[in-house]
Amino acid sequence: MSSREDRVMERTVYKSHDFEAATEWDVHQHLSLSPQERLRAARTLKERVFSSDAPDVRECHE
């Protein structure tokens, strides 16, 4: 990811009337993500929490 534009995610807001509806919507949103979107989200979270020079988790289990 070289530019800020690569990191921008579209924000979606959904107001539910109960926890069950909120959970269903949340699960549906996660299932509708493409593998590339999931990887992008995971990388973004990793960079926010651990910075860009954090070691790969898979290296810890070798």
Q: What is the pLDDT of residue 31?
A: 92
Q: How many residues does the chain have?
A: 62
The answer to whether residue 34 scores a pLDDT higher than 90 is: yes
The answer to whether residue 3 scores a pLDDT higher than 60 is: no
The rounded distance, in Å, linking the Cα atoms of 43 and 7 is: 9
Q: What is the pLDDT of residue 6?
A: 57
The rounded distance, in Å, linking the Cα atoms of 53 and 47 is: 8
The rounded distance, in Å, linking the Cα atoms of 34 and 52 is: 23
- pTM higher than 0.85: no
